[in-house]
Amino acid sequence: MTSAWRRDLITSLIGLWIITGIYIDGWAHVHVPELETFFTPWHASFYSGVLAFAAWIGWQLLRVRVAGEPALSTFYRLPPGYRGGAIGVTIFAVGGAGDMLWHTLLGIEASIDALLSPPHLVLLTGVLLMGTVGWRSQRAVSSTPTLPELISLTSVTAICAFFLNFLSPFRSATPTFPYFDGDEFDVVIWVGALLVTTVLLLIPVMWQIRDGRHRIGTYAVFTLAAGLGVSIAMSERWGLALLIPGAVAAALGALIVDIFIAQSPWRTWRYGLPIIGFAAGLMPWLMQLIAYAAVEGVGWPATLWAGSLLFAAGTGAAVASVQWQPVLPATSAPVAETKAALG
């Protein structure tokens, strides 16, 4: 266990503290009526994490500082990833001051306007820079994936899921409702949620696969963190007895994909990664739908739910295709001869 590993583990855990606090604050915005002040225990749950992160970055600066050197030189001698974290703290401080002024002048948001509030988007930028420090640092010092790296990447996946929760299949169990012709809004939202969340969850998985850092459980952990966080914090009218089994089942579907990635020879297939993406876009939502059927029943006709699943699977294949370099068959003799003649 190296000092860099311990350092990055602490950094990643503080980042997880911040993001857990943001989910707690999100829960309060949805479930606590008449939340009309900036100074709440819900805000303190994540601002305290930011203060801890700032203190930790300050300690890293003191450790690398050489007496008499300019502050900028000390900043540049921070370990890989930590300069971004220091910038993230600064951005968050600016956003926090703006957030307090915004709430004082305009009140407390309670719905999608809270997610799209400009000060909150500034805060998100700072949180992303802070939350990814452990991931970026471990990729620079370790040739294999590590626990600090996974915690860091899980945290930032979860915070992105939080800010996109208005398009999340973990926030509602829409297919359990009957479908009526002409009332298509809920279907549109559900299909859009499947597509957005499939892309959100697959991007970090593809990063890990690209760099040979994927391990069994990676996709499942991302899915479970986003699923449970959004289900518990952001659902207004759906029972957790339905949403939580759906989130756990989706994570089980993601785990099946993890195992498939680790155990199948997909790298030797001509379209291996797109096939992986197709499975990754299908299995979590198929398993979620099975859980809904077991707990509540599915009200949609097969054309709707099956088409939605295939739409998500196709989205997963498309995301994977972006970075796939197919395994091409051996060049036939006539083609080789033609190339030689042209050469």
Distance in angstroms (rounded) separating the CA atoms of residues 223 and 246: 11
Q: What is the pLDDT of residue 180?
A: 73
Q: Is the pLDDT of residue 17 over 90?
A: yes
Q: What is the pLDDT of residue 327?
A: 67
Q: Is the pLDDT of residue 109 over 80?
A: no
pLDDT tens-place string over residues 305-323? 999 999 999 999 999 999 8
For 159-270, where are the E strands, in sequence order?
none
Total count of residues recorded for the chain: 343
Q: What is the pLDDT of residue 228?
A: 96
Q: What is the pLDDT of residue 194?
A: 96
**Structure tokens that stand for 42 in this block:** 């819900």
Which residue in 174, 128, 186, 163 sits closest to 234, CA to CA?
163
The pLDDT of 174-187, averaged and rounded, is 81
pLDDT band at 288 (very low <50, low <70, confident <90, very high): very high
By mean pLDDT, which of 58-72, 125-139, 195-209, 316-330 is the weakest?
A: 316-330
Binning the chain into helix, strand and coil, the percentages to the nearest 5 are 75, 0, 25
Q: Is the pLDDT of residue 271 over 70?
A: yes
Phi, psi (rounded to 5 degrees) for 321: -65, -25
pLDDT band at 111 (very low <50, low <70, confident <90, very high): low
The pLDDT of 193-200, averaged and rounded, is 97
Rounded percentage of the chain residues whose pLDDT exceeds 70: 88
Q: What is the pLDDT of residue 252?
A: 98
Residue 132 is given by DSSP the state T
Q: What is the pLDDT of residue 46?
A: 84
Q: What is the pLDDT of residue 215?
A: 94
Q: Are 237 and 198 in contact (CB under 8 A)?
A: no
Tokens 């739910």 belong to 305
Distance in angstroms (rounded) separating the CA atoms of residues 85 and 56: 10
pLDDT tens-place string over residues 62-93? 998 888 888 888 898 899 999 999 999 999 98
Burial of 166 (0-12, 13-18, 19+ CB in 10 A): middle
**Structure tokens that stand for 305 in this block:** 């739910």
Distance in angstroms (rounded) separating the CA atoms of residues 198 and 223: 10
Residue 328 is given by DSSP the state P
Q: What CA–CA distances, in Å, run from 1 to 9, 79, 218, 340?
A: 11, 17, 21, 54
Q: What is the pLDDT of residue 204?
A: 95
Which residue in 154, 222, 163 sits closest to 29, CA to CA?
163
The pLDDT of 276-297, averaged and rounded, is 97
Q: Are 148 and 93 in contact (CB under 8 A)?
A: no
